[in-house]
Amino acid sequence: MGKNVLIIGASGDIGIAIAEKLAMNGYSLLLHGNQNVARLFQFRRQSRTEAVLDIMEANLADPTGIENFIGKLAYSIDSIIFAGGRAQFGVFQQTPEKTMDEMLSLHVKAPWVITKHLLPSMIQKNAGNIIFITSIWGRDGASNEVVYSSVKGAQNSFVKALAKEVGPSGVSVNGISPGFIETKMNQQLELVEKEAIMEEIPLQRAGKPEEIANVVLFLLDKHAPYIHGEIINMTGGW
C-alpha cells in the first residue's frame, strides 16, 4: 500500500475507475490525460488530499508529446497502468496513413518509451508492476477496426515478451483484455447494434469499468505475485 502508481489514460472511463479504486485502497497516483484532463482535476478535488501526486496532460499520439511527458515525470514510479488509447472505426483501405501513425504512437510507441524510461528503477528495486488494458480485438480481431485490433494485438505481444525478459528482475507484467464495456468508446453504436452484441455475450450484459478496476487492484496486491505474463480476458464469455 502507499505505492506510487502512474495511470496512463486516467481520464477515460476505465482509467478513472482504476484511479478511484486505487485511491480508496491507499495508493498514491500520478494521472495522465489529454483531451479530458479536466476530469482528473475534478477527481483530485473529490479524493483524499494525498491520493493524487500529480496530473499530467500530454498528447501521446505525437512523438513530441511523448518526449514532453517523459520530462514531466518527477516522482518515483512503482507501477504503471496503461489504460489509455482510442478506437478507430472504418474500412481499412480508407484509413489515412496519419491515423495509422497516431494509433501506433498512442498504443505502441508511447508504452514502449514510457516503460523503457521507468524500467531501470524497477529492476534496481527488484519490484514493480506493469499492467496493460488491451482489448478482445487484440486477440480476435474486428472488421472495420483493423488498425485498432493490430495495435492492441501488439500490446498483448509486448506483455508476454517483456514478462519473460524482466521476470527474473522481480517486475510483474500482465494485461487485462476487456470485451464490451460500458464506456464512451462504445457510445457510437446504435441501440440495435448493442442489442445484437448482448445476445452474443453469455452473461447478457456489458461489463463495467469498475470490474476492470477490481482486477487491476488484484494484480497489484501482494497476494497475486505468481500471475505473470498473462492476458486476463474479461469478456463475460463473449
Residues in Cβ contact with 49 at an 8 Å cutoff, skipping those fewer than 6 apart: none
In DSSP terms, 4 is beta-bridged to 28
Among 27, 75, 148, 226, the active-site one is: 148
226 labelled catalytic:
no
Q: Which DSSP string do the residues of 77-139 spell out, in sequence order? A: -SEEEE-------S-GGG--HHHHHHHHIIIIIHHHHHHHHHHHHHHHHT-EEEEEE--HHHH
Residue 79, C-alpha cell as written in the block: 507501477
Q: Which DSSP string do the residues of 28-89 spell out, in sequence order? A: EEEEEESTTTHHHHHHHHHS-TTTEEEEEE--TTSHHHHHHHHHH--S--SEEEE-------
Q: How many residues are there in the chain?
A: 238
Active site residue ranges: 148
